[in-house]
Amino acid sequence: MPRLNVATQSQDLWRQGQRVEVTIDDLTDSGDGVGRVEQRVVFVADTVPGDRVEVRLTHVKPQYAHGKLERILQASPHRIRPSCIVADKCGGCQWLHIDYRYQLEAKRHQIVQALERIGGFEQPPVDPVLAVADVLGYRNKSTYPLARSATGQVQAGYYQKGSHQLINLNQCPIQDARLNPLLAEVKQDMQDQGWAIYDEEQHRGRMRHLSLRIGRRTGEMLLTLVAKERSVSGIEEQAQEWLRRYPSLVGVCLNYNPDRTNAIFGAETRCVAGKPYLREEFAGLQFRVQATTFFQIHTEQTEAFLQSVMDELKLQGQEVLVDAYCGIGTLTLPLAQHVQRAIGLEVQPEAVEQARQNAGLNDISNVTFQAGTVEALLPALDVIPDIVVLDPPRKGCDKGVLDTLLQIKPERIVYISCKPATLARDLKILCANGDYRLTRVQPADFFPQTAHIECAAFLVREDA
């Protein structure tokens, strides 16, 4: 039998189902390991740079493939034993098997790479990542899809990696431990009630998601059920029972989502029992946080991050500050205490109303909130701001927002981002013609055990 030449061997090693040995040398933004087989890239979940692994190729393209980890031949020095028994199945976390120090290095590397490759910045000024003290038990909110097992039991958990197969959980090591009893027991209550569980393939059934939220400082909890229908038989009585059973539970809500969609929450939420909000203390202020309100997952780290922003800005009390994409005023209100005037812009009217209520709760009168898109509101302001804080969603800023900033030219811009790629794209536009200079980027780890990273990029107008 003739020997295979190199080209034939390469082709033989590059087909679906083939097993190959790979040394992992990098991580993607989504958290997968990256290795190479004869110059072709292989992406492998649950691996760490430094691992030598055996991989079964699952999706093969001419220049890259995705593979499933079959066996660890030599473990990376950064590999640790996961603190969760379903870490190899559950898609909630990507990095429970990576030591925390290396997680921080990898997250900073994400930002540097994006700024260099997408933004065109040479040696971008990226500080070390602001670390957290507690890498487990930090989440103040968890939302779980619901399903039924083959034996008919109500399940709640996260989807298995790369699938819509639910991994049933009775506790989660990264959520606030005070929420764990509710996760286990509420499922049984739904089972006893006989409520129909939603089937996403058939678009049938009623109960879609279970959402749990807690005020880290106050201990107050909210329980929210997402349903395909507005009414659920027996929910009022069950909600009262939950309030009696859990002294820290202050409200039970029902969110209505009838659409065939991946979005978790619908537009309607009603309070079934108790209050429609919990109280939280943040940066020395009082906040009311509702069931579907956006509020950063890691309360303590958000405070530390806010302090790093304030330290960099060195506010003197005479500034006019605009907080674009302000939500319920989480950052606007603490910053307003140190400037002459603050303006919050937010597209969701419900969030604007909550922001105004939170300003009233704290007797902060030098702040106003406006509802509408940032691209429409920013150019229509009656003042040229000294500082603009941008905190857009993952897709980044609308081009109209960037164009307006380049026209009104505030002295300083703080761009807060949860996605390095869109941050780099937008900073490139702001700095392209020498209008602004990137002076510093401060990353902060809001999501330990995952590949997600938050950061603040500080821009100064060149002629300031």
Contact 213, 289 (CB under 8 A): yes
Side-chain-side CA neighbours of residue 431 (13 Å): 23
Alpha-carbon distance 460 to 415, whole Å? Answer: 11
SS (H, E, C) 117-166: HCCCCCCCCECCCECCCCCCCCECEEEEEEEECCCCCEEEEEEECCCCCE
Alpha-carbon distance 108 to 131, whole Å? Answer: 11
Other beta carbons within 10 angstroms of residue 250's beta carbon come to 21
Contact 155, 168 (CB under 8 A): yes
Alpha-carbon distance 31 to 48, whole Å? Answer: 9
| Nearest alpha carbon to residue 279 among 333, 336, 217 | 217
The structure tokens listed for 270 are: 């009603």
Indicate if 84 belongs to the active site: no
| Nearest alpha carbon to residue 279 among 295, 266, 257, 262 | 295
| Nearest alpha carbon to residue 228 among 188, 201, 271, 197 | 197
Spot the catalytic one: 172, 253, 326, 418: 418
List the Cα angle 68/71/76 in 5-degree steps: 100
Alpha-carbon distance 295 to 140, whole Å? Answer: 9
| Nearest alpha carbon to residue 291 among 210, 356, 358 | 210
Alpha-carbon distance 78 to 95, whole Å? Answer: 11
Just list the catalytic residues: 418
